[in-house]
Structures are given as C-alpha cells and as structure tokens.
Chains A and B, each alone.
Chain A
Amino acid sequence: MLVSGIKSRPVYGTLAPNEQARLNIVFADGEGALAVLAMKPAAPTAFWARTHVIYVAGGSAPQGHFAKLQALGTHSCHEAPTIASALPRLKALLGAARMGTQLYLAGTEPLMGEGMRVAGEYGIRHQSIRTEHRGSLARRVQCVHCKGITESVTTNIVPCAHCGLHLLVRDHYSRRVGAFQGVNIDAEAPGQLPKVEEVFK
C-alpha cells in the first residue's frame, strides 16, 4: 500500500498570468505547453513581451507545441532536449533576475520538482511559484539508502537504478532534492514483493 495524504506532497494549481510581475519565466515540458497556451486569453501582449519560455518537448515533440509557444511573441523562447540540459538556462535567467519576477512551472512532476529545487537556490519560496501539472505522473524517486535518483518511475515498486534495492515509492516528497522518497520494501524477505503496479501514468 502506498502511504497517502502526506503533507509534503506538492499541490499543483492552474497557471494564471501575474500581470504585476515585471518579468516572467516559464519552464515547461511535454503537455505543460498546453497549460502555458491556456493563459493566452487572460494575458495581454505586453505580458508575453516580458516573458521568457524554456520548453522541453520530450515525448510530446510530434505534437509541435514548441511552434505554438514561439508564436506567443515572448521575449525569448528556448527549446532544450532534456530537463537537465535546460537547467543552465533557467539558472542564468534566475541569476540575472530581480524581485518582481514570476516563475511558472508546467508539465511533469520531475520538471516541476527540478524547477522548484533550482528556484529555491535563488531564494524563491515554493509558495510564490505558479504551477500546473500536465502529462505523465511519472515520479523522480530518491533511494533513501544510497541517495541515488531513479527517473521517470511509473510503478509503485521500482528497483533503484543505482544500488538495485527494491524501493516502495512513497508520497513523501523532498523539495530540497526535488524527488519522492523510495524505501526498501523486501529487507526482511528479499525477493518477496507485493504486486508491482503501474500507478503513476
């Protein structure tokens, strides 16, 4: 059984433009692009002119969301192949930013987890970030034993990509690491596992 209802589990909202902000930074992946595009009716042209977009297409590449993001008329619109490769640009934007900058995260949990972690390094509290979850529920999991990170986990139980222990994926989320906690489940009787199910699709 998964442990549910734990407070550390992030709660995501719906993106809305912050018109007071003097600068907007949007970091999105996959179907998250749709959440960004959905702000269009509420956001004046001037809003997009103050906005930087960083987008990771991932599995959604064939849908051509990036072209639609480019058509928004943003100050800049950048595409990166992976979340990790997008982070230097995100850091560069945050590093140069001043107060009055609004960060938006849209898409998968790994993207939002990484976005929040990086934002924290620049002194942005997670409450001030606007988020919207779209697409896969796949989780980024940290093994509590070896601290290694296993990406894109969709099952309740997963072998740690680093130490190989069978991990139960908990709802406990670390903002610092940007990952859910994975705890060894068969320590007493190795190999005896509950049913492995795909739960984070």
Chain B
Amino acid sequence: MAVRPQSIKVRVAEVVPVTPLVKRFRFVPLAGGLLPAFSGGAHTVVEMHDGAVVRRNPYSLMGSPDELDSYQISVRKVEDSRGGSVFMHERVKAGDEMAVSPPVNLFAIAWDARKHLLLAGGIGITPFVSQMIQLDRSEMPFELHYCIRNDDRGPYWRDLQQRYGRRVQVHRAESGLGMDVEALLVMQPLGTHLFVCGPGPMIEGVYATARGLGWPEENLHSERFQAPATGAAFDVVLRRSSKRVHVGTHESLLEAIEAADVEAPYLCRGGACGQCETGVLACDGRLIHNDHYLSAEERAAGRKIMPCVSRFEGRELVLDL
C-alpha cells in the first residue's frame, strides 16, 4: 500500500491569466535545483491551506518533461465547486509558498501505439500539452481534436495549432460544428490508441461510441478530473486509528481523514485509480459511491468505499483505517 508521498515545497513563480476562467501557475522548488522528473500526462497534487481546511487537488503538469526547473499547471475556475479552484484563482499570488506532490502518471503514452488519437474537452487539454511534447520528440504520430465552446473560451488552442499545425484540430461547439466522434473513430488505422480528457459525459460518450465500433478496451484511455462531490456532513469512525472524524459539507472523506492525521493512500483523488480503496467494517446507512472504480457487484456488497470522492448518509460508518 502506498504511503502518502512526501510533498515538495515550492514557490509560486508566476500566475498568468490564460482565458477569463483559466489561470496558469508556475511553481519553482523552494530548495532550488530540479524537481522530480515526470512523463507526458502526469499530474501533481497541489496542497491548499485555506484557513483550517487543507485541500489537495490534482492538476496535470503541462510543461515540458525535459524542463524540470519548474512545474506548470492550469486551473479552471469553477464557481460553485468546493472552492479549490476558487482558492487558486483568488488567493494564490506570485511569491506564495505552497506544497505539491511528486508527479504521478495515470494517463501515460502507449509506447506500442501506432498512432495516438487525443480528444480534449475544454480544460481537459492540460494533460495533452506535455503528452504532445513527448510524442512529437519521439516522432510518434498523433492527432489532437480539441473541443471548445468558442475562440475565447478554449485555453491554448492558438499556441498548439501554431506548434503542431494540422495535427491539432479545433472544434467549436457554438459554431454548430461540434466533433463527429463516430466519423473520426471509424477512420482510425489499426493500432490507434484513444486518449480522452474532459467532462464526464464527453468521456462516457466517446467510450460508448468506441466500444460500439469494436475498439478494444486496451486502446481506450481516459482521465477525468472530477472534483469530489459535496454533500451533507457526516461522521466516520476509523477503527484501527480509534478516531471519530467529522466530514464537512465541502470536504471530501479523504480530506477529513487526512486532517485527522491518519495516513490514507491515494493517487488520482478523482475516483478513478483505485489506490484509496478502503474497507467498510460497518455501515448503518447508505454509501454514496461517486467513483468510477468499484464494480456494480462491489457497490452492491457495500464492503468498500473510495474516500477520495465518495460519501455517506446515515447513522454510522466504520472504516478499516
């Protein structure tokens, strides 16, 4: 079981507005020198100290994997979220000290692919920025289809088109010319791997189309940055640590566990990787599963929960932590 990775102290070197809703942050290591290496598609978990609350949100590293003197992330402001992105947008200034996790890659390039077909929706562009640098260097064929609302709302599309030319296709939803996923998937050569990052419904739609066209699971890759759902506050008992922990409305179960100084494993913090899987010892109430990891049978059995995104409603929940 992975222990919580050691975080790295960094200074915010620069905050750049990219679109009305997106800002880019550049972090340099406080200790100087170089940051840990990462590969295209990797993310880091940024620690935000908002008063007494500590939030940890994952963001794709979007700089070049070859330039390790700084990390860059882009954050889209989501007004009525739990406040992680609002905190980044409104409170974080150049010069601030923060902490980030060593990079983790759950969306790595498929080295045996004969072609990479990359589909991005909005801020879902971020993991592809570093992936494309690596694919381009390795002279591996790729094609990016980037869905944005309109020219002003899509971050980076101009830069990317300039850098990669025809390999970057922009689809503007407001112009009525959305992306025709089926037409696109039908013509892909054998050995193509599909990577999709964007809103949940986009990922699900693309997967359903691909499966319907006979694409094998091995060739489908997705990354979703799902903010943990908010919900009614509840209490949880951690049996091995003998602690009772309160989980607030805007706090995830994982964050509450961390705030109680109990070590809990995680990687994606988005309900996708399975790393945070925790045993449910007793449950008098209803588990609210918000993850994409547990199978229908596992959910029905009610013996496991993914604390990074899932919650509880009822009288008593006891976890094996």
Give chain A residues whose Cβ lies under 8 Å from the Cβ of B185.
Answer: 99-100
Residue B176 lies at the interface, judged by CB distance under 8 Å to chain A: no
Which of B156-164, B196-204, B209-217, B274-282 lies at the binding interface?
B209-217
Give chain A residues whose Cβ lies under 8 Å from the Cβ of B213.
Answer: 20, 22, 99-100
CA distance A1 to B79 in the complex (A): 67
Supply 18 A–B pairs (Cβ within 8 Å), ascending by A. A18-B214, A20-B211, A20-B213, A98-B186, A98-B190, A99-B185, A99-B190, A99-B191, A99-B215, A100-B185, A100-B214, A101-B214, A123-B115, A124-B190, A125-B112, A125-B216, A125-B219, A128-B219
Given contacts A20-B211, A20-B213, A125-B216, contact A100 B191 (CB under 8 A): no
Given contacts A22-B186, A125-B218, A125-B219, 19 further A-B contacts (CB under 8 A): A20-B211, A97-B189, A97-B190, A98-B186, A98-B189, A99-B188, A99-B189, A99-B192, A99-B219, A100-B185, A100-B186, A102-B214, A122-B114, A122-B190, A122-B191, A125-B112, A127-B216, A127-B218, A128-B216
Residue B187 lies at the interface, judged by CB distance under 8 Å to chain A: yes
Q: Is the CB of A123 within 8 A of B215?
A: no
Q: Is the CB of B216 within 8 A of A123?
A: no
CA distance A85 to B126 in the complex (A): 48
Q: Which bracket fits the contact residues of A?
A: 10 to 19
Give chain A residues whose Cβ lies under 8 Å from the Cβ of B21.
Answer: none
CB contact list, A1-59 vs B, under 8 A: 18, 20-22
How many B residues, CB 8 Å from partner? 22
| A interface, over-half SS | loop
Residue B245 lies at the interface, judged by CB distance under 8 Å to chain A: no
- Per-position contact with B for A153-167: 1 when CB-CB < 8 Å, else 0? 000000000000000
Residue A120 lies at the interface, judged by CB distance under 8 Å to chain B: yes
CB contact list, A98-135 vs B, under 8 A: 98-102, 120, 122-125, 127-128
Among the interface residues B193, B211, B214, B219, which one has the most CB atoms of the partner chain A within 10 A?
B214
- Per-position contact with A for B211-236: 1 when CB-CB < 8 Å, else 0? 11111111100000000000000000
Listed in ascending order, the chain B residues whose CB lies under 8 Å from chain A are 112-115, 185-193, 211-219
Q: Is the CB of A94 within 8 A of B190?
A: yes
Q: Is the CB of B112 within 8 A of A120?
A: yes
Give chain B residues whose Cβ lies under 8 Å from the Cβ of A125.
Answer: 112, 216, 218-219
Among the interface residues A21, A22, A98, A99, which one has the most CB atoms of the partner chain B within 10 A?
A99
Which 4 A-B pairs give the minimum distances between C-beta atoms? A123-B191, A128-B216, A21-B214, A100-B214
CA distance A99 to B219 in the complex (A): 10
Q: Is the CB of A98 within 8 A of B216?
A: no
CA distance A123 to B211 in the complex (A): 18
What's the minimum C-beta distance from A25 to chain B, rounded to whole angstroms? 10
Among the interface residues A21, A100, A120, which one has the most CB atoms of the partner chain B within 10 A?
A100
CA distance A122 to B193 in the complex (A): 12
CA distance A182 to B219 in the complex (A): 33
Q: Is the CB of A98 within 8 A of B187?
A: yes
A20 contacts which of B115, B189, B214 (Cβ < 8 Å)? B214
